[in-house]
Homo-oligomer: A and B are copies of this chain.
Amino acid sequence: MADNMNHSSTEPAETIEPLRYLSKVEVAAIETELLRDYRFGQQQLIEIWGHACAIAITKAFPLTSLSKKQPTVLVVCGPDQNGSIGLVCARHLRIFEYEPTIYYPKRTPNTIHQDFTVQCEKMDIPFLSYLPTEVQLINDAYNLVIDAILGPETDHTDVKEPYAGILVTLKQVKIPIASVDMPSGWDVDKVTSDGINPDVLISLMAPKRCATSFTGKHYLAGRFLPYDIQKKYDLNLPEFPGTDCLIEL
Residues of A at the B interface (CB closer than 8 Å) are: 37-41, 43-44, 47-48, 51, 54-55, 58, 91-92, 95-96, 112, 114-115, 118-119, 122-124, 223-224, 226-228, 242-243
Closest chain B CB from A131 CB (angstroms) = 25
Given the known interface contacts A47-B44, A115-B41, the answer about A123 and B243 at a Cβ–Cβ threshold of 8 Å is no
Look across to chain B and name the residue whose beta carbon is closest to the beta carbon of A229. Answer: B122
A91 to B225, CA, bound (A): 10
Look across to chain B and name the residue whose beta carbon is closest to the beta carbon of A240. Answer: B95
Look across to chain B and name the residue whose beta carbon is closest to the beta carbon of A48. Answer: B47
Sample (21) of A-B pairs whose CB atoms are under 8 Å apart: A37-B122, A38-B119, A38-B122, A39-B114, A39-B115, A40-B119, A41-B43, A41-B112, A41-B115, A43-B43, A44-B47, A47-B48, A48-B51, A58-B242, A58-B243, A95-B223, A95-B224, A122-B228, A123-B226, A123-B227, A124-B227
A175 to B129, CA, bound (A): 57
Residues of B contacting A38 in the complex (Cβ-Cβ under 8 angstroms)? 118-119, 122
Closest chain B CB from A224 CB (angstroms) = 6
Residues of B contacting A226 in the complex (Cβ-Cβ under 8 angstroms)? 119, 122-123
Partner of A43, one of B44, B54, B91: B44
A48 to B91, CA, bound (A): 13
In the complex, are the beta carbons of A39 and B223 less than 8 A apart? Answer: no
4 tightest A-B contacts by CB?
A39-B118, A39-B115, A41-B43, A44-B47
Supply 14 further A-B pairs (C-beta < 8 A) apart from A39-B114, A43-B44, A123-B226: A38-B118, A39-B118, A39-B119, A40-B115, A41-B112, A47-B47, A47-B48, A54-B243, A58-B242, A91-B224, A96-B243, A119-B226, A124-B227, A124-B228
Residues of B contacting A48 in the complex (Cβ-Cβ under 8 angstroms)? 47, 51
Given the known interface contacts A118-B39, A119-B40, A122-B226, the answer about A55 and B95 at a Cβ–Cβ threshold of 8 Å is no
Closest chain B CB from A123 CB (angstroms) = 5
Closest chain B CB from A140 CB (angstroms) = 27
Residues of B contacting A91 in the complex (Cβ-Cβ under 8 angstroms)? 224
A124 to B96, CA, bound (A): 35
